[in-house]
Structure 1
Amino acid sequence: MSEVRFKELRHAPPMAVNFAKAVLRARVRPGSAPVLSDEGLRLNDVAQKSRHLAAYRQVCGFSADGHLPITYPHMHAFALHMALILGDGFPFPAMGLVHVRNRITQFRPIGEREQLNIKCYTGNLTQVEKGYEFSIFTVVSTAGERVWQSESVNFHRGGGHGEKKAPDAQRDAQTTAPAPDLIEEWEVPADTGRRYASVSGDRNPIHLYPLTAKVFGFKRQIAHGMWSKARCLAALQPELPEQAFTVDVRFKLPMFIPAKVKFARTRQNDGIDFQLLAADGVKPHLSGELRPVSD
């Protein structure tokens, strides 16, 4: 991919406009040789709104400690993500994309009064067995210092090469992993998707009501993947390091809500492994690992 050309925005794109565009572009198809745009988006001097931050903490379970929750910068980036995948010429429709993995690196805790500069761009387009995967990268800085970055991997079904991939080494390793040193049971209410949508702007119908989810083939609404990640990290909040660290999560089976789930954490020498499991303690909704950033 060529060097990214960044377009500077004065304001975050309105989510209502983004979702209207998503409907209009629902019939977009990638063709035989899809190509990602080399244009990125940049938004500077983003201030934190205390009421919005408090609402985010409440729905995700974070306590107020003077710093932004590690997943909170994604709230500012999401509208930019949507604008990127709704741009003219983008090869995939927004509707139907599946968020399969999210990797966040926090280089230091971010104060809740700091203003942020955010830039987002796409890359790493890969043809896989059943379709295509691509990444949306986000870099957050303040006063010229990079403080946070993420990679969101999305999957589009259709047009894959049909070749089965090698066994998942992470999945195989989990079969011999040590027993968790912490297991908690959580109740996830039916309105979780609507509450998270109100703070994130992600009002995808699959997360809202049973009827709107059924239109897209789900038996009832499912929880947002980034809510699940945030809820797990809220449970780990007292253990998150001050130094730079990365938390990498794979989204697996959808969580139909309301639900009872189990959060399992296992300490490792250099970090923490964690899972969010169905009530049976077996079916995985999410698996993740937290590791320090090596110097």
Structure 2
Amino acid sequence: MAGPARVLTQSPSLVPLLAAGALRSPFKRPSAGADFPRTRLVLPGLRVDLARLAAYERVCGFPTGEDALPVTYPHVLGFPLAMGLMSGPDFPLPLLGLVHTSIEITRYRELAATGTYELSVRIDGLAPHRRGTEAAVVNELRVGEDVVWESVSTYLARHRTTGAAQEREPGRESGQGPGRESEREVHEPLPGVDEWRLAGDIGRRYAAASGDRNPIHLYPFTARLFGFKRAIAHGMWTAARCLAAHGTPQAVLVRAEFRAPVLLPGTVTYAANGERFELCGADRVHVSGGVYPLT
């Protein structure tokens, strides 16, 4: 259930939020039973920066110049608000090391790039995971009273758990909307459609367009500070790049699960068959998902 609303006059700056979240991270004690912020952040009268949108479209492979938002772009608009909640002292999971594990997007109609929207973000709940605790973050875009786009993202904080935690969908115990099906179903490998050679600067280009300047995505030396051999691609870039190649109808449900990091530079294979898509490396699946028209 959504808590009290706090209305913002502008989107918060990401850099101070990321810095504050990093400083608070060592003092967090993650637990699925911990309390979490119930406030819903609301940004009314939102208009899209068209130059920034064009940069996002170019780096993700979407067509440019159309009066339409890519299906993943509202996530970028809501990301600063989500960081405003997850970097705060009352959010129990440490921001450093938090892993975006999945996203489910529902777009109910085509969204004009020149439109005016109300954006809201809230924490939907915490859930035990076999590797720690997972949080669900809900992002909604409205025109008037109508929700025209919404998403549920899950973020995992890895930590020691006691016993075998039963995974569940965060915030879904009381019928708060449809749960997502796991994209880890066993199936035959999807046929390869295209091979993409990813440049080493993809993370920096996406960061400039999206504002997500997490150091693991920027340079090899900053990624090594967090245990990666090289910089890794943003999960939402990999999902957006796949959806740009796959295509989506105007009214659509999209699911994507981020299963393994994509090291930069690197070569990956985009695979698809019908509704399903994958982004694969030589020996692993990096992203698995599906595109389901709404009826």
> Counterpart of 1:116 in 2: which secondary structure?
strand
Shift of 1:31: 5.4
Give the AA of the match of 1:114: G
Instruction: Tell me the equivalent position of 2:257.
Output: 250
Give the AA of the match of 1:111: A
Instruction: Tell me the equivalent position of 2:59.
Output: 59
> Aligned partners of 2:163 and 2:240: how far apart in 1?
34
> Aligned partners of 2:292 and 2:30: how far apart in 1?
39
Tell me whether 1:44 sits opposite 2:44 in the alignment: yes
Instruction: Tell me if structure 2 keeps the 8 A contact 1:123–1:136.
Output: yes
Shift of 1:292: 2.1
Cα gap change, 1:67/1:126 in structure 2, threshold over 3 Å: closer, same or farther? same
> Counterpart of 2:70 in 1: which secondary structure?
coil
Give the AA of the match of 1:188: L
Percentage identity across paired residues of the two chains: 36
Cα gap change, 1:158/1:55 in structure 2, threshold over 3 Å: closer, same or farther? same
Instruction: Tell me the equivalent position of 2:271.
Output: 264
CA RMSD in angstroms comes to 1.8
Shift of 1:164: 6.7
Shift of 1:170: 4.5
Instruction: Tell me if structure 1 keeps the 8 A contact 2:61–2:244.
Output: yes
> Aligned partners of 2:113 and 2:183: how far apart in 1?
35
Matching of residues 146-161 of structure 1 within 5 Å: 146-161=147-162
> Counterpart of 2:27 in 1: which secondary structure?
coil
How big is each residue's C-alpha offset from its partner over 1:132-157, in whole Å with a ceiling of 9 and x where there is no partner? 01100011011332110000100011
Runs of 4+ in 1 over 6 A off after TM superposition: none
Cα gap change, 1:190/1:141 in structure 2, threshold over 3 Å: closer, same or farther? same
> Aligned partners of 1:62 and 1:92: how far apart in 2?
34
> Counterpart of 1:153 in 2: which secondary structure?
strand
> Aligned partners of 1:189 and 1:196: how far apart in 2?
12
> Aligned partners of 1:149 and 1:24: how far apart in 2?
30
Instruction: Tell me the equivalent position of 1:241.
Output: 249
Matching of residues 24-173 of structure 1 within 5 Å: 24-30=23-29, 33-64=33-64, 65-163=66-164, 170-173=183-186
Instruction: Tell me the equivalent position of 2:174.
Output: none
Give the number of aligned pairs.
Answer: 280
Give the AA of the match of 1:248: R
> Aligned partners of 2:25 and 2:134: how far apart in 1?
18
Gaps of 5+ in 2: 168-180
Gaps of 5+ in 1: none
Instruction: Tell me the equivalent position of 2:11.
Output: 12
